[in-house]
Homo-oligomer: A and B are copies of this chain.
Amino acid sequence: MMDLRVSRKTVQQGTFEKLKDAILAGVFQPGERLVEANLCEQLGVSRASLREALRSLQSERLIDFIPNRGPQIPVLSWKEAEDIYDLRALLEGEAAARCASAIGDHDISSLSATVHTLRRVVKTNNSADKLKCATAFYDVLLHNCGNEMIKQTLNGLHARINFLRARSMSLPGRTKASYEEMNALYLAIKDRDPKAARKIAQQHVQNAREAAREAFKEGQKDNEA
């Protein structure tokens, strides 16, 4: 009884999500090995179920599987990160443009509300709330871009970037600039101006990339020391 809710998740699905969250939250160090026996104990699942979950994570490139060494957290080179940002800029630009053309009045209100919330949140400097706002904004944007593939692909990219950002990121100066950019994007969408929306979205990602680069170089120095 009490099976209400669609929650009837399978064990593999549950472990997949738990592990994914852990990886994105930065629980593991880049390059760290994931020993199956340990994870089984910590998660309370069998090795079979665990390995199925790990295979899914591998296909999403959230872990590397090295033959006879097992799964480990990938170390992202700057070149790879840059490639991700470039692709993200292309796709988010496209998504923003499509969104500006197709969005309905109701979702424009949602965006407006999110932007207003963000303005308040920026002052508190609460980075969890900040992330929640950004996520909410992008959910609406992607939902309205009208192309499920773009949405899915971008979600995958976001996952990998969050994961890189988990450590060593969130430059202080970016917060305010980030708000300005999101607001500008909102205005372009509200005016249903696809060209402007694309340009702003692309520039936003490129700015994020520059910020990430600095953080990345810093991280390199730490590693050498």
Contacts and interface: CB of A to CB of B under 8 A. Distances in A.
B55 A87 contact: no
24 contacts: A8-B67, A12-B55, A48-B48, A48-B51, A52-B55, A53-B55, A55-B56, A56-B56, A56-B59, A59-B59, A59-B60, A80-B148, A83-B148, A83-B149, A83-B150, A84-B149, A86-B149, A86-B150, A87-B147, A87-B153, A90-B91, A90-B94, A149-B157, A153-B153
Contacts of A42: none
Interface residues of A, number: 27
Given A55-B59, A83-B147, A149-B157, 9 more contacts: A8-B67, A12-B55, A51-B52, A55-B56, A58-B59, A59-B59, A80-B148, A90-B91, A153-B153
A144 to B, nearest CB: 14
Contacts of A84: 149
A223 interface: no
Sorted nearest first, the 4 A-B pairs with minimum C-beta distance are A59-B59, A55-B55, A83-B149, A87-B149
A12 to B, nearest CB: 8
